[in-house]
């Protein structure tokens, strides 16, 4: 008789690593399959830092789950003694009517989150590298900061292994089948065939391929992360006094950045949050082009002029976008024994700890106490209901 796992997780990036961790902690027999190495740099979860924040401008219903994500990150950090989460404070900057500012204020009002509203003069005085327009304001929250994504993934994987999960790397999944609704799955890789009661597909920007039959409206976009050696010196950008920020200038795409931290080559990270260049993980242009750099410099030149120095590093990354930029976490329409987690739309990492908890709940109980109604695939009329 072949071994039948309780769960197989395909893709051990941000979401998959948290899921195998949660499942193994609950005593499940779990197999994780990943086509590359642990915490690799070919998907969506590399680049040394990811913003975490509570006053969620995208929708207030993210607030309870992000608060749970904080708890889980803090627990993982305490259990492993690793450095995962750095709270620096965060600024959401833009005109008062911008989504980033007005949406963040809405979330603080809905959930009573502590925050301050700063006018342009306050921003300049407290955070000297920023030179906002007079009509721009910011919501400041002390509990924002950043996670170290590669270390988060490594620790989730290490703890999962410690609790008995079998994790296979460099083993691409070629296909999966589920013959009968509710009755297990078979997964075929380049090395073997495996059976399980439940399958979790957390394959990031590869999801459009592996879920092609579902016709979900998800699309993958190329994004660039830049690290600058600040023209005005590094001191004003140190995390002791420089926050993470998200800036939505009037009529332009938004961008975001971090204090000086420890990217592979040092420097201060900044990136555009918007852009229209579609790609696939195979077709993405991983070279950094002149137009990438000029678009980045155009965003910061008049807003954070002292940052606009030499580029010390730049890397591509991928966003897997849904039309409304909310996630998809749901059961497969034909096979309740398959869960899908995709479409994290460039803001999923901070949630990965709690997404692991949700996916483990769905696999084991078929339901979760977290409110995930916003993430239903049924909201897309074009997708199969």
Which residue of the chain is nearest ligand FAD when measured via CB? 13
Min separation Cβ 325 and ligand FAD, Å: 11
CA atoms of 196 and 173, how far apart (whole Å): 14
Convert 50-67 to b/e letters by CB count within 10 Å (16 or more is b). bbbbbbbbbebbbbebbe
Q: In terms of CB distance, is 129 or 348 closer to ligand FAD? A: 348
Q: Which residues, 6+ apart, have CB-to-CB distance to 267 below 8 Å?
A: 227, 228, 229, 260, 312, 313
Nearer to ligand FAD, 89 or 205 (CB): 205
Shortest gap between Cβ of 176 and ligand FAD (angstroms)? 9
- State which residue, 137 or 144, has the beta carbon closest to ligand FAD: 144
CB of 267 to ligand FAD, least distance (A): 15
Please check whether residue 234 is in contact with residue 260, taking contact to mean a CB–CB distance below 8 angstroms: yes
Query: Quick one: 50 or 115, whose CB is closer to ligand FAD?
Result: 50
Beta carbon nearer to ligand FAD, 1 or 377: 377
Tokens of 198: 């439940």
- Of the two residues 24 and 51, which places its CB atom closer to ligand FAD in the complex? 51
Quote the least distance from Cβ 11 to ligand FAD, whole Å.
2
**d(Cα 218, Cα 205) in Å, to the nearest integer?**
9
**39 and 153 in contact (C-beta within 8 Å)?**
yes
Beta strands in the chain (DSSP E): 4-10, 30-33, 50-52, 85-87, 90-94, 116-118, 137-141, 145-147, 166-168, 173-177, 185-189, 193-201, 219-229, 244-247, 255-257, 268-272, 310-321, 328-331, 338-342
Whichever of 36 and 111 has its CB closer to ligand FAD, that residue is 36
Centre a 10 Å sphere on the Cβ of residue 280 and count the other Cβ atoms it contains.
14
Of 180 and 212, which has the nearer Cβ to ligand FAD? 212
Q: Which two tokens stand for residue 147?
A: 């996670």
CB of 134 to ligand FAD, least distance (A): 28
CB of 57 to ligand FAD, least distance (A): 13
Site residues, ligand FAD (CB under 6 A): 10-16, 33-36, 43-45, 47, 50-51, 172-173, 202-206, 210, 223, 225, 271, 317-319, 344, 346-350
Find the DSSP H helices in the chain: 14-25, 63-80, 99-111, 120-126, 149-162, 207-210, 290-300, 352-365
Q: Cβ contacts of residue 157 below 8 Å, gap of 6+?
A: 12, 17, 20, 21, 32, 38, 39, 167
Smallest gap, in angstroms, from Cβ of residue 180 to ligand FAD?
23
CB of 125 to ligand FAD, least distance (A): 26
Mapped onto helix, strand or coil, the DSSP state of residue 47 is: coil
């Amino acid at each position: 008789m072949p071994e039948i796992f309780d769960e197989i997780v395909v893709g051990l990036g941000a979401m998959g690593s948290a899921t195998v961790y949660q499942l193994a902690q609950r005593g499940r027999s779990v197999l994780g399959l990943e086509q590359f190495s642990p915490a690799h740099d070919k998907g969506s979860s590399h680049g040394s830092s990811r913003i975490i924040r509570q006053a969620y401008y995208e929708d207030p219903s993210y607030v309870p789950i992000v608060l749970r994500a904080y708890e889980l990150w803090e627990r993982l950090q305490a259990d492993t003694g690793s450095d995962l989460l750095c709270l620096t404070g965060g600024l959401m900057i833009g005109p008062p009517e911008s989504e980033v500012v007005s949406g963040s204020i809405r979330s603080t009002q809905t959930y009573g989150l502590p925050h301050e509203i700063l006018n342009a003069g306050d921003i300049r005085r407290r955070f000297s590298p920023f030179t906002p327009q007079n009509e721009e304001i910011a919501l400041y929250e002390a509990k924002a900061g950043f996670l170290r994504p590669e270390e988060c993934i490594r620790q989730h994987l290490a703890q999962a292994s410690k609790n008995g999960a079998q994790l296979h790397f460099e083993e691409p999944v070629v296909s999966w089948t589920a013959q009968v609704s509710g009755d297990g799955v078979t997964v075929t890789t380049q090395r073997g065939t495996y059976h399980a009661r439940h399958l979790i597909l957390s394959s990031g920007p590869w999801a459009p391929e592996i879920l092609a039959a579902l016709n979900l409206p998800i699309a993958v976009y190329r994004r660039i992360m830049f690290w600058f050696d600040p023209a005005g010196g590094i001191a004003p950008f140190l995390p002791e006094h420089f926050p993470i920020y998200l800036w939505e200038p009037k009529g332009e795409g938004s961008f975001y950045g971090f204090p000086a931290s420890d990217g592979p080559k040092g420097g201060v990270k900044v990136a555009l949050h918007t852009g229209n260049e579609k790609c696939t993980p195979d077709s993405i242009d991983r070279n950094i082009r002149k137009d990438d750099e000029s678009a980045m410099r155009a965003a910061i030149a008049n807003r954070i002029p002292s940052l606009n120095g030499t580029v010390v590093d730049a890397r591509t990354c991928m966003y897997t976008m849904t039309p409304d930029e909310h996630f998809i976490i749901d059961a497969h329409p034909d096979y309740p024994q398959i869960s899908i987690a995709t479409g994290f739309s460039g803001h999923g990492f901070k949630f990965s700890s709690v997404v692991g908890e949700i996916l483990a709940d769905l696999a084991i109980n078929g339901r979760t106490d977290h409110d995930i109604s916003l993430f239903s695939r049924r909201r897309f009329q074009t997708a199969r209901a």
